[in-house]
Chain A
Amino acid sequence: MTVRLLVSPFDPGAETNRFLAASEGAGAAVTFTGLVRRTSDDPVTALTLECYEALAQAQLERLRDAAIARFSLIAAEILHRHGRMLPGEPIVQVMTLAPHRGDAFAGAEFIMDTLKTDAPFWKKEETGDGARWVEAKGEDDARRARWD
């Protein structure tokens, strides 16, 4: 399965090593891992991602296929968690494999920028003051639009 929706935490290093083990001589692999953020300005104690699983699986598979076609990738994988997670835990991992680094980087960035606005996940942050839905950022739409 090259697109996986997960509830449990995953091991980013183990996933990367498994992906690299099947690289078959390709010259460039990129791994991006998105983590639950916690800063002093934004003291998140936990993050819950709601997910529409049937649509998420379909959207992420389309996105993976589009990235492979557009950047001539040899392989691409997407892992995305949903449910409740804690600061520092991985949320998402995107891995791309290409003959050269330019396409591997671009493919991973394209997948992440598009996934943010086009895959059905919704973040709810818990802080000491209660829980709140994260609002979509205009900046994310702008990053998505760069690929149109």
Chain B
Amino acid sequence: MKILYFAWLRERLDRAEEEIELPPGVTTVGELIAHLRTRDEVTDAAFERPHLIRAALDTELVEHDAPLGSARTLALFPPMTGG
């Protein structure tokens, strides 16, 4: 699955996107965030306030309990500040 990062989350992770192989047992957005946090300290710190992180599967905004299903792209980002 492709993961996109935006704004300060992108800066803190020092990457705009990556491809990952979903490990067994990871079926929701929240579980994937928890999995990413186990990788290294930088990633863990970037997600230290997971409730702030918003998610979109393909082009739909979703909550953390949303199943990843067959989506091709997950985007993770801070609260939006447009307009």
- Given A52-B75, A122-B6, A133-B7, does the pair A80, B59 have CB atoms closer than 8 Å? no
Residue of A at shortest CB range from B8? A133
Interface centre among A57, A91, A120 (most CB of B within 10 A): A120
How many residues of chain A get a CB closer than 8 Å to chain B's CBs? 29
Do most interface residues of chain A lie in helix, strand or loop, or is the interface mixed? mixed
Complex contacts, A133 vs chain B, CB 8 Å: 7-8, 78, 81
Interface centre among A55, A58, A91 (most CB of B within 10 A): A55
* Complex Cα spacing A135 to B80, Å: 9
Complex contacts, A92 vs chain B, CB 8 Å: 82-83
Is B61's beta carbon under 8 Å from chain A? yes
Residue of A at shortest CB range from B82? A121
Interface magnitude class on chain B? 10 to 19
- Nearest Cβ distance between residue A73 and chain B, in whole angstroms? 19
Question: In the complex the two chains form, is B75's CB within 8 Å of A49's CB?
Answer: no
Complex contacts, A58 vs chain B, CB 8 Å: 59-60
Is A84's beta carbon under 8 Å from chain B? no
Question: In the complex the two chains form, is A121's CB within 8 Å of B83's CB?
Answer: yes
Question: In the complex the two chains form, is A120's CB within 8 Å of B79's CB?
Answer: no
Complex contacts, A116 vs chain B, CB 8 Å: 80-83
Question: In the complex the two chains form, is A91's CB within 8 Å of B83's CB?
Answer: yes
Contact of B81 among A54, A59, A135 (CB under 8 A): A135
- Nearest Cβ distance between residue B33 and chain A, in whole angstroms? 17
Question: In the complex the two chains form, is A120's CB within 8 Å of B82's CB?
Answer: yes
Residue of B at shortest CB range from A54? B59
- Given A52-B75, A55-B56, does the pair A115, B7 have CB atoms closer than 8 Å? no
Is B47's beta carbon under 8 Å from chain A? no
Contact of B82 among A57, A123, A124, A135 (CB under 8 A): A123
- Given A52-B56, A54-B59, A55-B56, does the pair A117, B80 have CB atoms closer than 8 Å? yes
Q: List 5 A-B pairs, minimum CB-CB distance, nearest first.
A: A121-B82, A136-B79, A122-B7, A58-B59, A116-B83
